[in-house]
Structure formats: C-alpha cells, structure tokens
Amino acid sequence: MSSKAYNRLNINESIENNENENENEIYRENEDLNNNNNNNDENKNESDNDNDNDNNNDNNDDDDNNNINNGIINNNNKNNNNNENNNENNEIERSQIILQPIIRKPKIEKKQSFLSKYLKSIIYGGMDGLVSIFVSIAVSFSSSDAKISVLLIIVLSKLVAGAISMGMGDYLGTQADIDFARGERKREAWEVEYYLEGEKSEMVEIYTKKGIPEEVAREVVDILSLNPKGFVDVMMVEELGIMPDVESQTPWKNGLVNFTSFVFFGILPLLPYLAFLAIATVAKIPSDQHLYLFLIVIGITALTLFLIGIFKAKSTDTKWYKSGATTVIFGVIGAAAGLGTVELIKVIFPNVDISQ
C-alpha cells in the first residue's frame, strides 16, 4: 500500500472517529436535555402536587370555616329559638300571674268561703222571714180579742210557706244565673277561637275608657290572650259583669240555706207567744199581756235586724254600726208597708173582721 493511500485511510478513520464522538456528544447532550426536561417535569409535577395540596388544604380550611360558621349560625338560631321560647314562656307566666286573682281564689279565703258564698241567701232569707213574721204578729195585735190559736195558725203557716217559697225562689234564681253565665261563656269562647282580634279590640277599648294608655292596654291584652280560658274569664267580668264563681254555685245549697235562714230568723219573733202558750191558761191573750208580748216582739225583731246588719258588715268589711242601722231601717220600712196595707184594707172593706 502506498503512503498516500495509507494517509487517506487514516484521515478517513479520524473523520469517522470525530463524527462518532460528535454523535456521542450530541446523544449525551440530548440525554442530559431529556433528563433536565424530566427533572423539570418532576419539579412541575411536585409543584402542581404542592399546589393541589395547598388548594386541598385551603378547601379543607374553607370547609372548616364553613362548618364553624354553620355551627355558629345554628347556635345563633338555637339561641334565638330559645330566646323566643323563653319570651313566650315569660309572657305566659305573666298572663297567669295577672289572671291568678280571677282564675284562682287565694287559700286565705277558704275560712270565709261559706259565708262569702251564701251571704246573699242568708241575708235574703233572714230579712224576709223576720219582717214577714213580725207583720203577721202585728196584724194579730191589731185585734184586741185575737185568739192565740189564730195567731199561731197564721204565723206558722206563713213561716212554712214563706220558707219554702224563698228556698225555691233562690234555687230557681241561682240556676238561672248559672245557665245565663254558661251561655255567655260559650259565646265568648267561640268568639275568642274564631274572632280573637275582634275580642282583643273590644278589651283594648274597655281598658282605654278606664284611662289606660292604648299602647299599654294592647300589651296587657296581648299577654292575657295567651291564656284563652283566662282571657274568657276576664271578658266575662270586664265586658259582661259576670264573675267566674257564678258557675260554681250549687242551686240546691243556695235554696236550702235560704230556707233555713228564713225559718231560723222568722221563728225568733214568735218565741214570746210560744212561751206564753206553754204557761197560758186562757184561750185569748189579754190586752195588757198582748201589749207586753208585742213590745218584746218589737225588741227581738229590732235587735235581730241589727245583728244581721253586723253580720253583713263583718263579712263585707264595712262599718258595723252603719250596716246594723241600715238593716233596721229597711226592716222598719218593710213592716210599715205590711201594716199599712192591712189598715188600707180595713178602710176599703170596713166589714172585714180579721179577729177570727
């Protein structure tokens, strides 16, 4: 081989080696570039993951904050509901306190419950029995030759008939009051159930007429209306003048008390004549003894009337002497009216003989 050829061969090998080295360098550079890209991708992925984690953490924080806010809102709602319930309960308690004197009687009044409940029947029966029997005795006294038997027949028949009549009258009157009150209560209860605003307006008008400011009256009525039954009781009193205890009365007890009171007080003026009958030996009452007996009857009647007045005063917390005097005056007026009627009959019918 010639030297030229050998040199050319070496040159070619060198060129090939250089090309191979360049290719290797390019390959290595590409690998490095790929590695760098991969690293960048990994860093980017890590950064994205970190951002995702941060976002997730932020979302979790937002969820926690939302949960906290929701919890606070729920607590506030619960507190508001509790406050509303407490306010409603307080208003109901206030209405019950206001209505307590009307709905429920104080325990301290139990000792006087019988007298306060039947005072009217006792006074009515006692006054009527006392005065009517006194008039019957006075009529017999107007006849100088009245027989004691006639006197007893007239007075005792009047006593029995009057007591029964008064007892039955009290029974019927009490039952009528109860029926009327129950009917009005049903009507008011219906109006409260179906027309509450109208009833509240009526109560506000009633209170404003009594001098209560309209704002205060509305507040009071709003509180009272929270208790429908008590509100009806208030309307029965304020609007109709019917007390709640009217419906709790027992008619037959009122009638019995009236009957007993009539008999008890009515027989007192008759006691002197019953005593005379027990010791008398004559059928007729002598005029002088009749006068003494009649004066005793007047004294017993006046004293009993005064005692009835005192009894009424003690039960109603009024002045005893004023009540006693008033009762005596009314008794005198009643007796005078009865005796005046007898004298008028004598004038109109002069031939009538009341001595037999």
- Rounded to whole angstroms, the Cα distance separating 172 from 155 reads 25
Closest CA to 121 of 165, 166, 162, 160: 166
Say which DSSP state 317 is in: T
pLDDT at 50 over 70: no
CA dihedral (207, 211, 212, 217) in degrees, to 10, reads 30
Domain map of the chain by residue range?
Answer: 115-348
For residue 281, the model assigns a pLDDT of 61
| Pair 259, 129: CB distance under 8 Å | no
For residue 7, the model assigns a pLDDT of 43
166 against 23, higher pLDDT: 166
5 against 252, higher pLDDT: 252
Closest CA to 157 of 248, 236, 270: 270
| Pair 134, 269: CB distance under 8 Å | yes
| Pair 148, 283: CB distance under 8 Å | yes
Closest CA to 243 of 116, 124, 93, 126: 116
Number of other CB atoms surrounding residue 335 within 10 Å: 21
Mean pLDDT value across the chain: 75
Residue 212: φ, ψ to 5°: -85, 135
In the predicted model, what is the mean pLDDT of residues 185-196? 89
220 against 105, higher pLDDT: 220
- Reading the block at residue 71, the tokens are 């919890």
Enumerate the β-bridge partners of residue 147: 284
109 against 130, higher pLDDT: 130
For residue 8, the model assigns a pLDDT of 46
For residue 4, the model assigns a pLDDT of 44
In the predicted model, what is the mean pLDDT of residues 180-196? 90
- Rounded to whole angstroms, the Cα distance separating 352 from 46 reads 138
Work out the percent of the chain whose per-residue pLDDT is above 90.
24
| Pair 140, 149: CB distance under 8 Å | no
- Reading the block at residue 336, the tokens are 């005078």
Q: CB under 8 Å, gap of 24 or more: what pairs does 176-181 form?
A: 177/246, 177/249, 178/246, 178/247, 178/249, 178/251, 180/242, 181/236, 181/242, 181/246, 181/247
Work out the percent of the chain whose per-residue pLDDT is above 70.
63
- Per residue in 246-291, pLDDT tens? 888 889 999 999 999 999 999 999 998 888 877 766 656 666 677 8
- Rounded to whole angstroms, the Cα distance separating 335 from 65 reads 95
Closest CA to 135 of 352, 323, 343, 317: 343
Structure pTM?
0.63
For residue 289, the model assigns a pLDDT of 73
Residue 147: φ, ψ to 5°: -85, 145
The pLDDT-based confidence of 106 (bands split at 50, 70, 90) is: very low
- Rounded to whole angstroms, the Cα distance separating 158 from 35 reads 137
pLDDT at 26 over 70: no
Closest CA to 124 of 166, 67, 81: 166
For residue 208, give every residue at least 6 positions away whose Cβ sits within 8 Å of its Cβ, in sequence order, or none.
Answer: 214, 217
